[in-house]
Chains A and B, each alone.
Chain A
Amino acid sequence: MIEVKNLYKNYYSEKSGKFAGIGNPKLRDGSNSVPLQGLGVGVSFSVPKGEIFGIIGPDGAGKTTLFRILTTLILPKSGTATVNGFDVVKDYKKIRECVGYMPGRFSLYQDLTVEENLEFFATVFNTTIEENYDLIKDIYIQIEPFKKRRAGKLSGGMKQKLALSCALIHKPTVLFLDEPTTGVDPVSRKEFWGMLQKLRAQGITILVSTPYMDEASLCDRIALIQNGQFLKIDSPENIVNQYADKLWAAKSNNMHKLLEDLRNNSLVKSSFAFGDSVHVSVDNEQLTIDGLTEYLVNNKHKRIEIHPIEPTIEDCFMELSNSGTNSK
């Protein structure tokens, strides 16, 4: 269970040489030392027990800042957050006992073996591998043949499974997974999400972030995040249903020119390549598929195919994001 109210954090990032964080980006300059109050400053959301809640957005959007506050590793500047009813500032010790955390970067001991890492994390939390083996069995069994191998020598997919096992070994009730599938191939990603569904079935609450928009549909609810702010929080189905424009998929014999010609049509709102077709969003009542087909015929396209489609989460993100406004 997670409850976040008007949470705000800004900090100067040495890496990027500017301010980053979560909450209203307009308030992010160094001069701001007064605690911030009022609506519209920070982010708010809540996650009930047993839900998979996805934080979906690109690098630098504030996903990791949010995770670090909720796992009590950094302090928020203003706003409140509780995990299982415990306050992230006052009750941080209690939170650390009941949550599991898988950071974005592989953070296990590279020089310890698979087994030693797991043993270490179990011991730190005053438990044993045997006591909670049931919870990790399905995942750990896949890497058990390599239990004598050093963690640093594992492949990406295996590291990910070990990290998840270590995050689960003390039987947490809330799991924080910061980009667990980044850089992982599509097959391993699918397997990983299968594991998360099983954990949810056991009542574990999961907060998971990802830059892969196709993973959004596997969450119960998602927050689309960009530049420290939530663009939308809802179930993937509702977000798709709320897509306001008409959306068509278009193909022709000359796909590169098709993109150009569509963008030159003033009745088209935006057009972007999506796999083997171009997704065209239209908010103008007058433009019909027949009308657009005729326009493309006049521009010497052949084998034109245009048909209405259901938007994907990626279409929705593009529509909602600010950069979408000049996307023509």
Chain B
Amino acid sequence: MNEIKDIDSEKVIVTENLTKRFGDFTAVDNISFEVKRGEIFGFLGANGAGKTTAMRMLCGLSIPTSGKGTVAGYDIFKEPEMVKKSIGYMSQRFSMYEDLKVWENLELFGGIYGMHDKEIKTKTDELMDRLNFEKERDQLVKSLPLGFKQKLAFSVSIFHHPQVVFLDEPTGGVDPITRRRFWEMIYDATASGITVFVTTHYMDEAEYCDRVSIMVDGRIEALDSPENLKKTYNAKNMDEVFQQLARKSKRKAD
């Protein structure tokens, strides 16, 4: 989908045999992959396949049991705090403080990530202008329509210009037009060099990624561009690819 985008060969995420066990249950089982700068990397899998656990390790929130991993050049074992500073995160559930105004949220998150007041102010003005949010600037976040909230949550997650942003099912529950507008924002972010790591249950969205990995029972069963995956699995869309792979799951309990 992104042939003009000059994907830098620099690797922003590298994992090698990354594993997480809880007791005798192996949630993430020896996964190895690389994500390049400016890439949109789709991280798919059935419920319980291990996506959330893997993502938590990459965000520096959970220490792996074994293997290796670096995010934005920092070791996820030894430097989880540096990892946290270099990434952005957005999920469907937690987005922003609903009882704060739009600009207050930006100031809060900018401050947490160590941005200077002056930079926060300039970037807030810039963002309000770009999103056409001048009217909403002084409103409480809870009064915004869902589509606005989502746009804003994404903007907040990349406000400190992280090297990579993790999006955990960012488009759940929104109407089809807002969902597509959201992806257009993702493209704009990658054009400015931000790497995007995204999970979704919408298989049409898998097609918008540069490369897609599909996890089954803690392992990465397939990893390639959507085009190549469709060829390999002789499928007409990503839903068919997903159905073929996820049905192999033996992990009944989850």
Give chain A's interface residues, CB within 8 Å of chain B.
15-18, 57-60, 145-146, 155-158, 182-188, 190, 211-213, 226, 253-257, 259, 272-276, 314, 317-318, 321, 323-324, 327
Contact = CB atoms under 8 A, between A and B. Distances in A.
Contacts, number: 112
Interface size class of B (residues with CB under 8 A): 35 or more
Given A183-B172, A317-B175, A324-B177, 17 more contacts: A17-B142, A57-B175, A156-B47, A157-B47, A185-B46, A187-B246, A226-B175, A256-B1, A272-B176, A272-B177, A272-B180, A273-B180, A273-B183, A275-B203, A275-B207, A275-B237, A323-B177
Given A253-B3, A274-B204, A275-B204, A187 B177 contact: no
Contacts of A157: 46-48
A321 B146 CA distance: 16
A17 B177 contact: no
Given A155-B47, A186-B201, A58 B174 contact: yes
A184 B246 contact: no
Interface string B107-132: 00000000000000000000000000
A164 to B, nearest CB: 16
A211 B47 contact: no
A32 B195 CA distance: 49
Contact of B1 (A57, A185, A276, A327): A276
A170 B249 CA distance: 33
A18 B187 contact: no
A155 B172 contact: no
A327 B147 CA distance: 14
B94 to A, nearest CB: 14
| Nearest 8 CB-CB pairings of A with B | A58-B175, A59-B173, A185-B46, A275-B204, A275-B207, A155-B254, A156-B47, A17-B143
Contacts of A146: 253
A273 B208 contact: yes
Contacts of B142: 15-17
Interface of B is mostly: loop
Contacts of B202: 212
B95 interface: no
B246 A186 contact: yes
21 contacts: A15-B142, A16-B142, A58-B178, A59-B146, A155-B48, A157-B46, A182-B173, A184-B47, A185-B46, A185-B246, A187-B46, A211-B174, A254-B3, A255-B3, A256-B4, A256-B5, A272-B176, A275-B203, A276-B226, A314-B176, A318-B176
B43 to A, nearest CB: 13
A293 to B, nearest CB: 19
Given A157-B48, A254-B4, A211 B173 contact: yes
Interface string B28-72: 000000000000000001111000000000000000000000000
Contacts of B143: 16-18
B15 to A, nearest CB: 22
Contacts of A190: 243
B82 interface: no
Nearest to B245: A187
